[in-house]
Amino acid sequence: VQVDGTIQAPADPSQIKAADQWVKFLYIDHLTLSGKGVFDGQGATAYKQAQPAAAWSGKKGNVKILMNLGFMFVNNSMITGVTSKDSKNFHVMVLGCNNITFDGFTVTAPADSPNTDGIHMGRSTDVKILNTNIGTGDDCVSLGDGSRKITVQGVKCGPGHGISVGSLGRYTTEDNVEGVTVKNCTLTSTQNGVRIKTWPDAPGTITVSDIHFEDITMNNVLNPIIIDQEYCPWNACNKK
């Protein structure tokens, strides 16, 4: 799939119903998504309307706040050259994928855009994020449960909340995270640098292991290295 123009989501979130992303790739082997194109989520209206806690829940009232791109059960695939812009929610969701690479990918959104994680993944193995520029309002890269053999290399992050493992441990159904390398990355004017975050009073009993952070450059980063075992945004949890 080659995209060289700009594809725009509806500015009004209520125009797309019963979906989590407005562009999805499902159950594909050997996908290549390339070009100079832009997936424009037109999130400005949603940013103004959304309270952070509402954006974080993925809903405003009964209306879902859509992510830009979804890759579900996509294997042996490459995303290169294209840009995700102003997503209303996460820019990219990677779920149940194996051997998927983002190379020369771009994410852009304002620093104050709520819950606009750049690339979020879960239940996926051998995900590579290479030579990618991510500037957004939340985590540049976030790793959910079941993330294995993950490489984040040559990524420029900022603005944003850094490169995060988690949040984890909130549910009993979660799977271990193992084999993560974050290397040769530069973070500029971000809230956090490299972060591992788990919920307090959480029922999950998973492990996070074999994590490597190497050759990370941080410029004007508030919390360069943070391991937070009482992650509790907007006090929406039990801290016991």
* Catalytic site positions: 161
Residue 104 three-state SS: coil
Q: Report the candidate in 129, 121, 117 with the shortest Cα–Cα distance to residue 190.
A: 117
d(CA 42, CA 29): 30
d(CA 97, CA 124): 5
| β-bridge partners, 77 | 100
